[in-house]
A = this chain, B = another copy of it.
Amino acid sequence: MFVRQLFDRETSTYTYLIADEASNEAAIIDPVKEQFDRDVLLIEQLGFNLKYALETHVHADHITSSGKMREKFSSKVALHENSGAKCADILLTDNDELTLGDKVIKAIHTPGHTNADISFSIDGIVFTGDALLVRDCGRTDFQLGSSATLYNSINDKIFSLDENTTIYPGHDYYGFTASTVKEEKKFNNRLGNGKTEDEFIEIMDNLDLSLPKKIKESVPGNINCGL
């Protein structure tokens, strides 16, 4: 299983290129418009057939290159059905499966950051988007987010995975690149060590964050696959 983590410094976004090396079928998760040329070159150099551009959610901080990837590679764009993304080729729901060769990508609906979050699991790895970050989690104060919903998504659907599962997040602001289910269950600052739902909601209610700079163009732009 090929997995390559890529970073967009301006928005601290992680993009992932994953592939089944037997068939060369590949997917890109959360590609960023400004990194389109970098990512296309990498896909071409590695000789992959890009089958999917997968979005963990409708991003509020950057614009996707999923539509441009489709134009380039005839790949299919997939988001959760709650996204309202009319541009999508595939609208996913919980437990839907996609394949790369004989490998299965499972879509796990993990709402709470927004109402349309998907974590993608494959081969002992889970790509958690903004639902769960290393020692951290996504905010819950717009795009139909809900702290109570996120609490249950993480506890019921991520922390219930095998504890050795690698977690690859959608962002990072501290210099972390990855974690494991075991680590986050113990050490996540907002959700770990058995934090109760009330404790989590209090933390989230007091974050006092300003809106993402690009939210006004990003959300409509991403519902249109960045085109």
Contact = CB atoms under 8 A, between A and B. Distances in A.
Interface residues of A, number: 20
Classify the interface of chain A: helix, strand, loop or mixed.
Answer: mixed
A8 B8 CA distance: 14
A7 B38 CA distance: 20
Given A45-B183, A186-B45, A175 B38 contact: yes
Nearest to A41: B187
Given A46-B183, A183-B45, A175 B4 contact: no
Contacts of A176: 6-7
Interface string A152-182: 0000000000000000000010111110000
A9 B6 CA distance: 14
A164 to B, nearest CB: 10
A74 interface: no
A196 interface: no
Nearest to A6: B175
Contact of A177 (B6, B8, B174, B183): B6
Contact of A7 (B35, B177, B187): B177
